[in-house]
Structure 1
Amino acid sequence: MNKDRTYMKLLLYVFGFLLLWEWLLPLEQITKTSQIHYFIIFVVFSIILIFLGTPWFISWPVKSGFILIFLYLIFREANEPIVVWLPRFGTEIQLNISLLASKNWTELSPGFRSLLFFLLLWQITYLLRFWLTIRKRIFIFYMMTIFYVALLDTFTEYEANRAIVRIVIIGFALLGILFFQRVLEKEQIKDASGLMKQWMFPLTSMIILSVLAGYISPKAAPVWPDPVPYIKSKSTTDKTANPGISKIGYGVDDSQLGGPFISDDRVVFEVTSSSRQYWKIETKDVYTGKGWITSEQSAPMKRFEYGETFLMDEHMRNEGELTKASFQFEIQYPHIVRPYGFVSVTGNEGNGFLQYDPVLDKINSHTSDGTEARLKEYTVTYEKAAYSMKKLRGTTGLPDGEQYNQLQKRYTQLPAAFPERVKELAVEITKEEDNWFDKAKAIERHFQSGDFSYDQTRVAIPTGDEDYVEQFLFDTKRGYCDNFSSSMVTMLRSIGIPARWAKGYAPGNYREAADGEYRIYQVTNNEAHSWVEVYFPGLGWVPFEPTKGFNNPSSYVFDEAQSQASQTDPAAPPEKEAEKEEKETKEVIEEKEPSNTSNFTGIGLSKWIWSGALLLVVMGLGFAIFYSRRKRPFANKNEKNDDGTFIEAYELLLKRLDKRGFQRKTGQTLREYAAYIDRQLQTKEMSQLTQAYERIIYRGDDASTLTSEEKALWKTLMEKASGGEMSSN
């Protein structure tokens, strides 16, 4: 018997240590804590002392000695003897205690912090002993571990995928063994050797089957990206110290895409406009297999003045509705940020000029002497872009001519070693469509499937001969705007549709209303964004948005309905057919589009608020359920149940006494326990009630033979156990 219980106790401590280990594993990765192995050794040694039942007057000095030795090994200077280090460390402790008293917690020394951490682990190992061998309940610590690891996975670079699996296995094992021990104590079973084997087999089988089921089951991609990636990154600016991690924002070098980035919520500009827009800066036209560069085209720069009309978009005839967007910049650049339908820029007249680069499709500001100018504010006049559906769906190729031949060649460029299976995928996706617009929408919708997920942190970088797009489409299927937009551009190019890679900023976050129909939007570095442009003759470059979590703010003119109505039903009213066609076309365009349109992370401020509220509600419900689960036996089995079965009533009384702190010791008989309760209450009620219970259990007496006095004893004890009249001494 003792041997089996020793094995069970050993298992409990092993699993308890493994659960505690999950708290220590991430520390070296997410904090400046180093040499974690010393702390792990200390935990192992502390648990061994507890398992062996070492008395406190032996274990305390031994643990203290271990702490001093480990601190000496961690913080000693080169070849410094311990007799020299100890007085110095004593002085350091005195200094840090004074800092604690003055609440200067940030000034504490690393050595003193480590000492506090050792003491914390000391207390945690004591709590493990309390939970595992006294209370025999580990659920709270188990849930705390899951919550802790989930937080680290969400808000830091720590990857918890495997840790969660380990925690599930360890937790199930602990919960199962502890439940078995509680059953043994409740039933007063002393020889549990056979029962232990019978219990461990189904427990082990259940754990294995549960883990296998979770592993092989299909898993949906996350609906939302990680909210705050790399909050505690070791370096936010030094790329040499943290290779492969970039800081988000606008940059000119796009030759090597991929890898994680750090969020940056610094405000770049605020813009007052009548509607949400993509704020465009430039485009790139050459895909290298790793990123984007600019082709060596020989196109002269075009100079124009502030306030001068300069039409760049082919569909514009300066006949549409004009509106304005006014910019106030916190971070100033020499380029002009513009919406689609650009007409002119005002705000720096007489102090310089503007220059358009047709290769980059980019406008830069200059001073009068030709140097770059960084403007604090300016206003862009633009024509509200609205693209004709008739022209969009009517495009199946480019007209003849040298100009279009050059455009086709330039914007269908792909590397010589471009993966063939990317083209095969594009052909498969678009095989049912007969025009460029619907083919582009089919590819755009492909990225909205559950196979792809938006992620800013766990993003691979292609190495060797790996292609950036192929890696994303077929291997990782995880990334941010650069992955999605580059993939769509190259897929379109592979089937002969001219497309290019555009970059700038997403619409931004709504701040407040301005005069009339105007609204103020705030754009931060987090809104740095890339998207897709497809060329349509007569319309020019039309934006598309494949990135999951973003919407295309472009407008469409549904002008193909009337001609189709005359062909299908001459008698039908043109306006009714037009409404029907517009509705059907909108359904095609908006199919599977995500509803969010707010910012770079794909989650707007309002959704953050609702998400936080939902999380609080879920946590509140969880605690309420747990609390009610603890109280339910007493709520459903109160003193009104004295006319029910006496056995149930007596067992309920035992449970309530246990909850009040009067645990029945291992091996203690019911009569001994009843005498213990009577000594606390200075009565004989528990002993009398126990004798009645034993008559029913062992002699087979009928509960109906109980006297009203015996029933009253139970009722009185229940009231005392519930009313707080009892206290353990």
Structure 2
Amino acid sequence: MMGRSKMFSFILYALGFLLLWEWLLPLEQVTKTSEVQYFIIFVVASLLLNFFHSPWYITWPLKAAFILYALYAIFSESMEFILWLSQLLGEIRVNTSMVLSRDWLDLSPLYRSLLFFLLLWQITYLLRYWLMIKRKIFVFYFMTIFYITLLDTFTQYNGEHAIVRIVFIGFILLDLLFFKRVLEAEKMDGQHLLLRRWMIPLASMICFGVVIGYLSPKAAPIWPDPVPFIESKAENMGRGGISKIGYGVDDSQLGGPFLNDDRLVFTVTTSTRQYWKIETKDTYTGKGWIASDQAGKEVEDIQYGEERLLDDTGSISNEIQEAMFNFEIGYPHVVRPYGFLSVKGEASGFLRYDPRLDKLTSYTGDMNEVRLPSYTIKYRAPSYSLQELRATKGIPSGADFSILREQYTQLPEKLPERVRSLALELTGEYDNWYDKALAIESHFQTGEFSYDQTRVAVPKAGQDYVDQFLFDTKRGYCDNFSTSMVVMLRSLDIPARWAKGYAPGQYKGTSGDDNRIYEITNNDAHSWVEVYFPSLGWLPFEPTKGFNNPVNIMHDEQTGSASAAAFEEESMETKESQPDEKEAEEKENPDNVIEKDAKAGNFFYKYWAVVGFAVILIGLAAGGLILSRNYWIPRLLIWTYKNRQEDEAFTGAYEILLNRLDSVGLKRHPGQTLRSYAADVDSHFDTTDMSHLTERYERLAYARNENSTNWEYSKELWENLIKKTMNRVKKE
């Protein structure tokens, strides 16, 4: 009888392995993994150890030793084992630090393989649980089908034959487990004979159905291939649909959700954190932005290396610095920091500056736009005097300033009046442009507004884009925030314009010359606000929630005004009351947290062995408790009730016993009486203890006879049954 039981278990394990094998077969095609055999051997060995019920103190060292051997065979490159082991520990230390800093994309292949081995370790344990204890495999079967269909749809892997194999193996496995559950529930005699009689016709029927389905003619697909279909929809989505984030030239219709895109656009090496500016626009239409004609302003040609001051450098002259750009996605426009002086590129040709857009574009000698793969920009990072900023309270007289005021305070005729009313309400107590701009900027950092990329409305016909955001939705991304601030400033006759380009990007460390390296992706495409100060030029502001302005303000005031002090105090209170926003700003401003990250990194590198050992020790302890729960839980229950004397403990102990019996497979059927269930349990254990306990429980529950339980005697029966559940687990 025992041999037949082992044979049935072996068949279940074999079918479970074949399902798990389907997870490993595509790896060579969809990843760079070329050593799949080690993972397959590991799965087979793990399942065999489970089949023979090897204790954890044997299986864990064996599995760990094989993982170490496999990693050495794959990644050692003939290095001596001791040296490679030292390298392995170093990679684990570095990659664990990257995991803790959520830099998951840069993990090394060795560390990824180690994690995959640990994942397979867990899956093989779950297979044993599903096959031998729960007798249910549908969840894993469904996950396997879903996994293969995803790979077949979105990768080069052809899952046609894999689906056939999965259907065949899965149906047999599901039917065997279902039939086994029925036989165990009904306690039929000759279970193995019945299983053997059913397996042959069952397998034959499934084989026949699969073959007929495979050979039958198939109709053409009704739906198109989802990959090109989705890509085309993403690229050609009309107004009101979902667009893909990134730099674009058409800003006439703003609004609507967009999809994230983490493709790398460029890497820049420089000493300062910057906005990466591309262009500005000056005419707000009520729906978006366009560039005005600006008669009299002609394009200018600039040679590579020629110094041309396009941006004011503020009130304080800083040293000349360099920013070195390397592009993964090329554009003909030039991405530049504030304080631009010159561009040095590898290509021949020239640059063309369009003052309407404040935009630089690269051209070849024959007047064609060219995409530069790399270039270096010289610039002076601007610094602005706070004293001069707060001294600006209006536009000076003069023809040039009159034109500037007309161009950069333009607003649609039908702009709702409540937009200007809100701006006046927010800035009424301030007498200078800078504090007014800060007040409007701070308004968007309150809890009324939410940064969101998906649930973003598109203004209806006749509805103003800014008015909708300020008073109706209060939910959006950088275009909503920046456009609204520009419009509110213009309603106060403060010259402002809409700037676009890229946010500073993600800090990636330092280069050999101590410059900082930033990676900018399509997700960093961004828009912000520029406000004109006659004595200083255009100053950037950042209203978008969760972003931080990298502009350098020199606090050179001797004594601040009462209004300024009040505003600064209010700003501090706002920041203190919004810890989540502060954390978001720190995430966007890595310069402010470099020192903190360095300290955390130094601590980890110094004590990595202690931390790693503690993590491993905790993991082993947790795993040991989980694997041995069927041994220590009964003993804990016995110990808990051992010294209790009151009869009231009997009810709780009896209910715990029912749950314990259910967990080891002795389930009570719906509608089954306690006496009938007790008889089944006694029949299984060849005892009468459960019936005696049930009789006492019923007298206590229904007759309310508290003296009928005889707790000392009942406790002895209860402990015997708890111990028998332990023996049942060992046999399984």
- Equivalents in 1 of 2:710, 2:526: separation in Å? 80
State whether residues 273 and 520 of structure 1, in contact with CA within 8 Å, keep that contact through their aligned partners in structure 2. yes
> 1:673 Cα deviation (Å)?
3.0
Q: In the TM superposition, what are the counterparts of 1:261-340 in structure 2 within 5 Å?
A: 261-298=258-295, 299-315=297-313, 319-340=317-338
Q: Structure 1 residues 281 and 699 mapped into 2: Cα distance closer, same or farther (>3 Å)?
A: closer
CA displacement, residues 499-555 of structure 1 (integer Å, 9 cap, x when unaligned): 000011111112231133301111112211110000111110000001112110011
Q: Do residues 643 (structure 1) and 640 (structure 2) align?
A: no
CA displacement, residues 589-632 of structure 1 (integer Å, 9 cap, x when unaligned): 97866443588999x9999xx9xxxxxx9xxx9xx99x99xx99
Q: Structure 1 residues 432 and 633 mapped into 2: Cα distance closer, same or farther (>3 Å)?
A: farther
Q: Structure 1 residues 414 and 600 mapped into 2: Cα distance closer, same or farther (>3 Å)?
A: farther
Q: Structure 1 residues 305 and 589 mapped into 2: Cα distance closer, same or farther (>3 Å)?
A: farther
> 1:371 Cα deviation (Å)?
3.2
> 1:558 Cα deviation (Å)?
1.0
Aligned to 1:596: 584
Q: In the TM superposition, what are the counterparts of 1:181-580 in structure 2 within 5 Å?
A: 233=230, 235=232, 237-239=234-236, 244-298=241-295, 299-315=297-313, 319-348=317-346, 351-561=348-558, 564=559
Give the letter aligned to residue 470 of structure 1. Answer: D
State whether residues 395 and 401 of structure 2, in contact with CA within 8 Å, keep that contact through their aligned partners in structure 1. yes
Give the letter aligned to residue 330 of structure 1. Answer: E
Q: Structure 1 residues 667 and 342 mapped into 2: Cα distance closer, same or farther (>3 Å)?
A: closer
Give the letter aligned to residue 525 of structure 1. Answer: N
Q: Structure 1 residues 243 and 493 mapped into 2: Cα distance closer, same or farther (>3 Å)?
A: closer
Q: Structure 1 residues 542 and 684 mapped into 2: Cα distance closer, same or farther (>3 Å)?
A: same
SS at the partner of 1:596? helix
Give the letter aligned to residue 293 of structure 2. Answer: E
State whether residues 320 and 379 of structure 2, in contact with CA within 8 Å, keep that contact through their aligned partners in structure 1. yes
- Equivalents in 2 of 1:650, 1:545: separation in Å? 66
State whether residues 312 and 342 of structure 1, in contact with CA within 8 Å, keep that contact through their aligned partners in structure 2. yes
> 1:414 Cα deviation (Å)?
0.4
Q: In the TM superposition, what are the counterparts of 1:15-54 in structure 2 within 5 Å?
A: none
- Equivalents in 1 of 2:434, 2:711: separation in Å? 89
> 1:375 Cα deviation (Å)?
1.8
Give the letter aligned to residue 676 of structure 1. Answer: D
> 1:723 Cα deviation (Å)?
4.3
Q: Structure 1 residues 335 and 649 mapped into 2: Cα distance closer, same or farther (>3 Å)?
A: closer
SS at the partner of 1:442? helix
TM-score calculated relative to the size of structure 1: 0.59
- Equivalents in 2 of 1:445, 1:633: separation in Å? 60
Unaligned 5+ segments in structure 2 are: 1-144, 186-226, 601-617
- Equivalents in 1 of 2:699, 2:329: separation in Å? 86
Unaligned 5+ segments in structure 1 are: 1-96, 135-229, 569-579, 611-616
Aligned to 1:64: none
Give the letter aligned to residue 321 of structure 1. Answer: E
State whether residues 316 and 384 of structure 2, in contact with CA within 8 Å, keep that contact through their aligned partners in structure 1. no
- Equivalents in 1 of 2:659, 2:344: separation in Å? 80
SS at the partner of 2:584? coil
CA displacement, residues 668-707 of structure 1 (integer Å, 9 cap, x when unaligned): 4443333222211112222333444455556665549838
> 1:364 Cα deviation (Å)?
2.0
- Equivalents in 2 of 1:527, 1:707: separation in Å? 71
The range that moved more, 497-506 or 639-648, is: 639-648
From 707, 710, 717, the equivalent of 1:713 is 717
Q: Structure 1 residues 651 and 634 mapped into 2: Cα distance closer, same or farther (>3 Å)?
A: farther
CA displacement, residues 319-348 of structure 1 (integer Å, 9 cap, x when unaligned): 422211011122222222111111222234
> 1:266 Cα deviation (Å)?
2.1
Give the letter aligned to residue 672 of structure 1. Answer: S
State whether residues 235 and 241 of structure 1, in contact with CA within 8 Å, keep that contact through their aligned partners in structure 2. no
> 1:432 Cα deviation (Å)?
2.0
State whether residues 500 and 532 of structure 1, in contact with CA within 8 Å, keep that contact through their aligned partners in structure 2. yes
- Equivalents in 2 of 1:644, 1:654: separation in Å? 20
Sequence identity percentage: 51
- Equivalents in 2 of 1:681, 1:588: separation in Å? 70
Q: Do residues 677 (structure 1) and 675 (structure 2) align?
A: no
State whether residues 315 and 384 of structure 2, in contact with CA within 8 Å, keep that contact through their aligned partners in structure 1. no
> 1:296 Cα deviation (Å)?
1.0
Give the letter aligned to residue 336 of structure 2. Answer: R
CA displacement, residues 478-498 of structure 1 (integer Å, 9 cap, x when unaligned): 111111111110011011111
Q: Structure 1 residues 632 and 353 mapped into 2: Cα distance closer, same or farther (>3 Å)?
A: same
Aligned to 2:188: none
The range that moved more, 423-432 or 318-327, is: 318-327
Q: Structure 1 residues 560 and 676 mapped into 2: Cα distance closer, same or farther (>3 Å)?
A: same
SS at the partner of 1:553? coil
> 1:268 Cα deviation (Å)?
1.6
CA displacement, residues 175-196 of structure 1 (integer Å, 9 cap, x when unaligned): xxxxxxxxxxxxxxxxxxxxxx
- Equivalents in 2 of 1:660, 1:462: separation in Å? 61
State whether residues 301 and 358 of structure 1, in contact with CA within 8 Å, keep that contact through their aligned partners in structure 2. yes
TM-score calculated relative to the size of structure 2: 0.59
State whether residues 234 and 242 of structure 2, in contact with CA within 8 Å, keep that contact through their aligned partners in structure 1. no
> 1:238 Cα deviation (Å)?
3.5
Q: Structure 1 residues 709 and 275 mapped into 2: Cα distance closer, same or farther (>3 Å)?
A: same
SS at the partner of 1:724? helix
- Equivalents in 2 of 1:319, 1:241: separation in Å? 47
The range that moved more, 313-322 or 278-287, is: 313-322
Q: Structure 1 residues 278 and 697 mapped into 2: Cα distance closer, same or farther (>3 Å)?
A: closer
Q: Structure 1 residues 107 and 600 mapped into 2: Cα distance closer, same or farther (>3 Å)?
A: farther
Q: Structure 1 residues 660 and 508 mapped into 2: Cα distance closer, same or farther (>3 Å)?
A: same
- Equivalents in 1 of 2:428, 2:568: separation in Å? 24
SS at the partner of 2:277? strand
- Equivalents in 1 of 2:431, 2:633: separation in Å? 65
State whether residues 527 and 600 of structure 1, in contact with CA within 8 Å, keep that contact through their aligned partners in structure 2. no
> 1:587 Cα deviation (Å)?
4.8
Give the letter aligned to residue 346 of structure 1. Answer: K
SS at the partner of 2:466? helix
SS at the partner of 1:512? strand
Aligned to 1:689: 693
Q: Structure 1 residues 689 and 346 mapped into 2: Cα distance closer, same or farther (>3 Å)?
A: closer
> 1:302 Cα deviation (Å)?
2.6
